A and B are shown apart, each in its own frame.
Chain A
Amino acid sequence: MNVILQSSRFGELQIPAEAVLDFPAGLIGLGGRRFALLARSEESAFVWLHSMDDPDLAVPVTNPWRFFEDYEIELGDDEAERLGISGPEDASIYVTVRSAPALDDFCANLRAPILVVGNQGHQVINQAAIAPVRAPLFAGLQEEPSRAA
């Protein structure tokens, strides 16, 4: 069964009911409980986490390890227990992205990753020492001029 998603960015979309994620606490400071992940293709670097209830609310997210190889997430035991996870294999992990006219100005929020566990989503605070709220997404590429060709 499909659920209709009205999106101001993408128009009307049919979302399989089982793909709708429940965010019991919403996104931090934004709220919202029901979201769906929208990708153009399997290979898309950017996936939209779209509110099922607010046609305007959608946040681009990405797999952090695609851009930050050494990224680490540290959660307190209490929090891991609250989310029902015992290790990284129990969750799909995304970080939010802010786009900009130039790729150089794209940033990801490594401090507040989004963990998808089953059909639930949780934005959590990463306790790792190096986890900036605004990490340049393409900074690592500058050391690889061969990729620019």
Chain B
Amino acid sequence: MLIITRRPGEKIMVGDDVVVEIIEVSGSSVRIGIAAPKSIPVYREEIWAAVQAENRAAAASDVAQLPDDVPTPSKKS
């Protein structure tokens, strides 16, 4: 892992396309701006990890457990 020291307003390039800027440091939190091409989604790691775990769990679903006709809540009129 590359570990570098930056000050607010300073930036980091990841390849030619991704710019990470340190916006503000306040106590134990850091505000970061990320400019990336539209094709690269940017996620908070803990959300990415939670969704990955859920995707894996969903992918482990068993066909036999999924009924063809399940009860669904009736629509409110």
Contacts and interface: CB of A to CB of B under 8 A. Distances in A.
Interface in A94-115: 96-101, 103, 109, 111-112
B55 A67 contact: no
Contact count band on A: 35 or more
Interface residues of B, number: 34
B9 interface: no
B52 A28 contact: yes
Interface string A99-141: 1110100000101100000000001110000000110001011
Given A28-B43, A28-B48, A101-B65, A140 B73 contact: yes
Contact of B61 (A29, A30, A60): A60
Contact of B66 (A27, A60, A67, A140): A60
A9 B61 CA distance: 11
B61 A28 contact: no
A139 to B, nearest CB: 10
B75 A27 contact: no
Nearest to B62: A99
Nearest to A70: B76
Contacts of B43: 28, 125
Contact of A27 (B55, B65, B74, B76): B55
A100 B53 CA distance: 16
A13 interface: no
A109 B74 contact: no
Contacts of B52: 28-30
Nearest to B60: A98
18 contacts: A25-B39, A25-B40, A29-B53, A43-B69, A60-B61, A67-B72, A69-B76, A96-B54, A97-B66, A100-B65, A109-B55, A111-B51, A112-B55, A123-B55, A134-B54, A138-B71, A141-B72, A147-B74
